[in-house]
Structure 1
């Protein structure tokens, strides 16, 4: 399995990004819409802002109309993950919104099935749902994903890769 990690372009000025504490030292290359047609699977990750995916990710997908018209993503595997600042900050609404976009493109959705038992834990704050892996960062962004949340993300990644391999041998 080959994996490319990319990011979407920033949509705010450098000045505002710095003032708002954005992570600006990203090494991942910026994704382009034509990149998508070359993959058997796409896992979309976006932070949650006010109950929906961050504008930067929405902006990227809003540019995929040409791919949609040509059906370039039909039959590919799609999946999503997110983070929120608070426990009830819109994780599932963000994931569903991203998944809706992937479905409009004709992608086959692979979430985070309950075969991964970690999302049923109640002994610690744990993100994750059948829609995809999640984490809770805290209002100041200081909380890092727990080992349990990371295992959920790894499970989801393996599940997506295995599904894509079966569909696209």
Structure 2
């Protein structure tokens, strides 16, 4: 039996994009999983993106299709990825989720698996609060929340600085954005993607 998994992300400089790819790689390890990556629309004016260097970074995933809110209903599981913005999701993701009122009204997302991963500039830059506050939106939609269980023991390591918590995978980009996701952080993202797909598959088989 096939299970459809959508990885829906916003990335400004590519860090969240790298984590999104790892989430998708993990989900594809599950037999029967049909995995697709989507990005949400950009809200920052083009001249501002070019001035900040973000426009060049975004070329790496320019061919990823932009998701329409109604497409969320086509998936069995949805993994959302966003950078943190002062302890909350990025405005681009908030704007996208704010357009899902019709799905809420019809109950189109009730019973679907939802999960969240994030990136932040600093080690304590709101990774957990961003995931948890994003969970609130998913709960309003009636989704089944899946995190990153401690069976993924990379999140417990103390040898190097890394992201990751029981709420979801995460990565730290550094104050200047020069740090890319580490192999440990990408590994946690792969685990999360696989875990989400496995649970979605079990739920679908049992329905």
TM-score, normalised on structure 1? 0.98
Matches within 5 A, 1:74-93: 74-93=110-129
CA apart distance, 1:168:
1.1
Matches within 5 A, 1:1-169: 1-22=33-54, 23-25=57-59, 26-169=62-205
Q: 2: distance between equivalents of 1:163 and 1:75?
A: 12
Q: From the two aligned structures, give the one with the greater strand fraction.
A: 2
- 1:117 and 1:38 map into 2 onto residues whose CA distance is 32
Distance 2:131 2:160 in 1: 22
Higher relative contact order (CA 8 A, sep 6+): 2
Structure 1: give runs of 5+ residues left out of the alignment.
none
Measured on the aligned residues, the alpha-carbon RMSD in Å equals 0.8
Is the deviation greater in 18-27 or in 101-110? 18-27
Distance in structure 2 (CA, Å) of the matches to 1:35 and 1:167: 20
Partner of 2:17: none
Higher relative helix content: 2
Runs of 4+ in structure 1 deviating by more than 6 angstroms, as ranges, are none
Q: Which runs of 5+ in 2 are unaligned?
A: 1-32
Partner Cα distance (2:63, 2:176) in 1: 23
Aligned residues: 169
Partner secondary structure for residue 127 of structure 1: coil
Q: With structure 2 as the length reference, what TM-score do the two structures score? A: 0.80
CA deviations on 1:67-90 (whole Å, 9 max, x unpaired) are: 000000000000000000000100
